[in-house]
Structure 1
Amino acid sequence: MPDVLSVPVVDEEPIASVLRSLQLEMLEPGRFRAYSLPQVRRIYGGQVIGQALLAASATVEDEARLPHSLHAYFLRGGDPDAALDLSVRRLHDGRSFSTRHVACTQDEREILTLEASFQGVEGGVEFSPSAPDVPSPTNLTSALEIFRTMDHPVAKFLGKTAAFDVRHVQRNLYTGSDPQQRATQELWMRPRHALPEDMSQRLHRVLLAYVVDQVMMEPALRATGLSWITPGMSLASLDHAMWFHRNVDINQWLLFSGQALSAGGGRATCTVSIYSQDGVRVASASQEGMVRVPDGDGAGSGRWGLAG
């Protein structure tokens, strides 16, 4: 079995806690146990995606085969105080690709199902669209600075525990909505502390899958006049797909260019293109999420903080 479960240990918090959540315990071949980060309400969806992708990676013996795509469904909210059990089923091992199915359960109830495909290095045609022309992250305000000024319990929690530095190009959605209600947005993101340079490419991709869920639905909030402090708003990921086009360096600033595709029926769909600091697209993702706000019937529970 590949040594993918050897997640590095670092001293710097809060990224150290993220890495601890990815240190899976192997119960037997193809079965793993994981534990959650401290959460506000429910398990953060990106955490479970990262853990499931890492579990799938651990069953692909050819270490040259890297995850190039994943598709996941969030079935129910997870309890951050209960262990997670990950069961991996081998669907296919071909000459070029390997495919795995992962079921994540708590108390014998599935909370997420994920399928991932792996491929070795191959040559072929090359194309990468140009990255948007946006200001450098050094000229933008960090979300961490904004959290420290907010009198909101989730903001105070994130100010201490957020492992990644997020810097919006447009107005942030932490303190209010976007008056222009744009359907697009750009932001930069990287870890607050650098991770070991010898970390495997599989783990770089796992960490990108972990963090992208944090910002996937923001374009829909922006387009519909909502924000993270909209009273009573409920937000949860429903299904998520991701493609890795090239190797990822999670230590560098990555540009996330997002777009809202549609909103209606209590759901919204968004996409994001992820570029390296030198403007090459390294990954793409799409997600549909539940978005509810209070109405005359009282819909909307206010459960958005780190919900998966």
Structure 2
Amino acid sequence: MSEPPTPLDDLLGQLDLEPIEQDIFRGTTGRPTLVPRVFGGQVAAQALVAAGRTVPDDRVAHSLHSYFLRPGDPEVPIVYTVDRIRDGRSFATRRVVAVQHGQPIFHLSASFQTYEEGLEHQEPMPPAPDPVTLPTAAEMLPRHAGLLGGPDIVELILKARGAVDLRYVDEPPFASMGEPREPRSQVWFRTNGKLADDPLLHLCLATYVSDMTLLDSVLLAHGRGGWAVGDVVGASLDHAMWFHRPFRADEWLLYDQESPTSQGGRGLARGRIFTQDGRLAVSVIQEGVVRVPRG
């Protein structure tokens, strides 16, 4: 008897887009969710898969810039159309539009480069505890079941994030409601299982995870618990990433996040992803809707 698929198997299946015409792909949804929309990190990761499948194998994504236009419907597939904007000697540029119900829900531009040597420096990795000393989500979340709405909600969150081992360095926003903190948060993450060596796959998994916790730092500044406890309404607006150095998403990565500002119903957050040996692998910036519900 074959083993049932793991959550990581399910996620990898969602990232294995179906080609339906030249430069047109179809992706499934199916991630458990507490809100009636597709998780933004999934759409961004699938769009990067679509773009990457239209460039030569020797070119690797070095940046992406994207906008979330409409909520994705988790009940129907998403169609990704790729425009081959430019193919140069070193760089290739792709534009991807994700469509559901005849309307664009997401737009991504990505640039790919052939590897070359160059000047190199980076910021140092900030201090952080060893990830194996931190509680897993399965250990941490049940302690806050009362805040989150009960064991059933905890189980749904664990299923939604089952493909990823994500560990908070400090308490997450919902565990410190009413207590404003420095607008900075850290998590360690890696996939719950080994991945193939395809570099694009590791970039796409990091893209998927990068949308999970980035706005936490905005919430911490105001002592807000977030969407999980209903004291703010939030959604990603735009998302940009720069991939600096090779990494593996199935090995521990430190996601260091901070928020320089929030205003006008929007919050800005920036993140840096480091490998466990201190290499700066990815930079991330996102702006999102962060609204306080009107009573």
TM-score, normalised relative to structure 1: 0.88
- Percent identity between the two aligned chains: 37
SS of residue matched to 1:279: coil
Is the Cα–Cα contact under 8 Å of residues 256 and 272 in structure 1 kept in the other structure? yes
Structure 2 counterpart of 1:222, which letter?
L
Partner of 1:56 in structure 2? Answer: 51
In the TM superposition, residue 147 of structure 1 has moved relative to its aligned partner by 2.5
Cα distance in 1 for partners of 2:7, 2:141 equals 15
Partner of 2:121 in structure 1? Answer: 127
1:37 pairs with one of 22, 26, 30 = 30
Structure 2 counterpart of 1:184, which letter?
R
Assess, with a 3 A threshold, how the Cα gap between structure 1 residues 11 and 230 changes in structure 2: closer, same or farther.
Answer: closer
Partner of 1:181 in structure 2? Answer: 181
Cα distance in 2 for partners of 1:121, 1:11 equals 39
Is the Cα–Cα contact under 8 Å of residues 31 and 39 in structure 2 kept in the other structure? no
Is the Cα–Cα contact under 8 Å of residues 12 and 193 in structure 1 kept in the other structure? no
In the TM superposition, residue 17 of structure 1 has moved relative to its aligned partner by 1.0
Partner of 2:12 in structure 1? Answer: 19
Partner of 1:110 in structure 2? Answer: 104
In the TM superposition, residue 138 of structure 1 has moved relative to its aligned partner by 1.3
Q: Where do 5+ consecutive residues of structure 1 fail to align?
A: 1-9, 299-308
Assess, with a 3 A threshold, how the Cα gap between structure 1 residues 278 and 178 changes in structure 2: closer, same or farther.
Answer: farther
1:72 pairs with one of 66, 69, 78 = 66
In the TM superposition, residue 179 of structure 1 has moved relative to its aligned partner by 2.4
Cα distance in 2 for partners of 1:28, 1:105 equals 15
Q: Where do 5+ consecutive residues of structure 2 fail to align?
A: none
Assess, with a 3 A threshold, how the Cα gap between structure 1 residues 153 and 261 changes in structure 2: closer, same or farther.
Answer: farther
CA RMSD, 1 decimal: 1.6
Partner of 2:131 in structure 1? Answer: 137
1:216 pairs with one of 190, 214, 217 = 214
Partner of 1:46 in structure 2? Answer: 41
Structure 2 counterpart of 1:90, which letter?
R
Is the Cα–Cα contact under 8 Å of residues 217 and 258 in structure 2 kept in the other structure? yes
Is the Cα–Cα contact under 8 Å of residues 178 and 222 in structure 1 kept in the other structure? no
Assess, with a 3 A threshold, how the Cα gap between structure 1 residues 278 and 39 changes in structure 2: closer, same or farther.
Answer: same
In the TM superposition, residue 183 of structure 1 has moved relative to its aligned partner by 1.0
Structure 1 counterpart of 2:166, which letter?
V
The alignment of Structure 1 onto Structure 2 pairs a total of residues equal to: 284
The answer to whether structure 1 residue 253 and structure 2 residue 252 are counterparts is: yes
In the TM superposition, residue 186 of structure 1 has moved relative to its aligned partner by 1.4
1:205 pairs with one of 203, 206, 209 = 203
Is the Cα–Cα contact under 8 Å of residues 272 and 284 in structure 2 kept in the other structure? yes
Cα distance in 2 for partners of 1:12, 1:222 equals 36
Cα distance in 2 for partners of 1:253, 1:284 equals 16
Partner of 2:166 in structure 1? Answer: 166
Is the Cα–Cα contact under 8 Å of residues 91 and 101 in structure 1 kept in the other structure? yes
Cα deviations by residue, 1:261-286 (Å, 9 ceiling, x for unpaired): 21111100000000001011000100
In the TM superposition, residue 221 of structure 1 has moved relative to its aligned partner by 0.9
Cα deviations by residue, 1:128-163 (Å, 9 ceiling, x for unpaired): 211011111111112222233422544220223411
Partner of 2:192 in structure 1? Answer: 192
Cα deviations by residue, 1:81-109 (Å, 9 ceiling, x for unpaired): 01101000011111110000000000111
